[in-house]
Amino acid sequence: MATDLLAVDRLNVFYGDSHVLHDVSWRLQTGRLLALLGRNGAGKSTTIHTIVGFLPARSGAVRLDGLDIHNTAPELISRAGVGLVPQGRRIFGSLTVRENLDVAARRAAPGGGRVWTREDVNHLFPRLGERQHQVASSLSGGELQMLAIGRALMTSPRLLLLDEPSEGLAPQIVREVQQVLQDLKQQVSIVLVEQNLGLAMTLADDVVLLDTGRVVFAGTREAFSERSEELQVHLGVH
């Protein structure tokens, strides 16, 4: 049996005394896109932050290619080929587009996926290419999101984690993000946190649904669609 690229295994995570993730388990195989769904406060970002090493797990494991990486330093997890596009984008506003990309550049992890250069990112996002010397604070919301994705690609990840990339974007820009992710999913394995169900369902191979820190569904998109009426209650969609 093939080893999972990423396995989240019975994770329990706390903020102080507050128990936020309860025995969260799911897995992702190479080449697939997994949509991590759930309403506000369900624990999606907490899961992502635990995977990248920002938060410690009280118990459980996070395995990358079978190796337990939980409670490892974020820098080492990044070097192992895990790229993050954080919620809220977190771009350096006073740096130019080019500087934002260059600070993220790094040699690809051994055994990693494709190597990305600044030229590759500019090819994927021509609008960024035209704005190389512009400070990031002058970019539109959509351009900032493209830059956030570009910055993560500059680490040449084999696993890309995106935390609500469509948040706060106009429908036209969401369609652009969708097209970009459609292309990227041919090249890198992806975990996509989303509240935009339409976007998630268009792209996903697999779905994990969280409700108050517990997995209430994990399976293929087809299996999710078959049960979507019953599962809507966990999404806050009325």
Residues in touch with ligand ATP (CB under 6 A): 15, 18, 20, 38, 40-46, 87, 195
Give the ranges where the chain is alpha helix by DSSP (H). 44-51, 74-79, 97-104, 118-124, 126-130, 141-153, 171-184, 197-203, 221-226, 228-231
Tell me which residue of 131, 148, 156 sits closest to 92, measured CA to CA. 148
Tell me which residue of 160, 155, 154, 93 sits closest to 122, measured CA to CA. 154
Q: How far is the CB of 103 from Mg ion (least distance, A)?
A: 24
122 contact, one of ligand ATP, Mg ion, none, CB 5-8 Å limit per kind: none
The answer to whether residues 9 and 152 touch, using CB atoms and an 8 Å cutoff, is no
Residues in touch with Mg ion (CB under 5 A): 45, 87
186 contact, one of ligand ATP, Mg ion, none, CB 5-8 Å limit per kind: none
Identity of the amino acid at 68: D
Q: How far is the CB of 41 from Mg ion (least distance, A)?
A: 8
Q: How far is the CB of 213 from ligand ATP (least distance, A)?
A: 7
- At 177, is the secondary structure helix, strand, or coil? helix
Which CB sits closer to Mg ion, 105 or 216? 216
Which CB sits closer to Mg ion, 47 or 156? 47
Which CB sits closer to ligand ATP, 45 or 100? 45
Other C-beta atoms closer than 10 Å to the C-beta of 112 total 18
Q: How far is the CB of 163 from ligand ATP (least distance, A)?
A: 7
Q: How far is the CB of 139 from ligand ATP (least distance, A)?
A: 22
CA–CA gap between residue 117 and residue 101 (Å, rounded): 9
118 contact, one of ligand ATP, Mg ion, none, CB 5-8 Å limit per kind: none
Which CB sits closer to ligand ATP, 42 or 128? 42
Give residue number: closest CB to Mg ion: 45
166 contact, one of Mg ion, ligand ATP, none, CB 5-8 Å limit per kind: none
Q: How far is the CB of 44 from Mg ion (least distance, A)?
A: 5
Tell me which residue of 227, 225, 219, 207 sits closest to 38, measured CA to CA. 207
How crowded is the C-beta side of 69, counted as CA atoms within 13 Å?
A: 26
Which CB sits closer to ligand ATP, 184 or 193? 193
Which CB sits closer to ligand ATP, 149 or 210? 210
Sign of CA dihedral 210, 191, 181, 135: positive
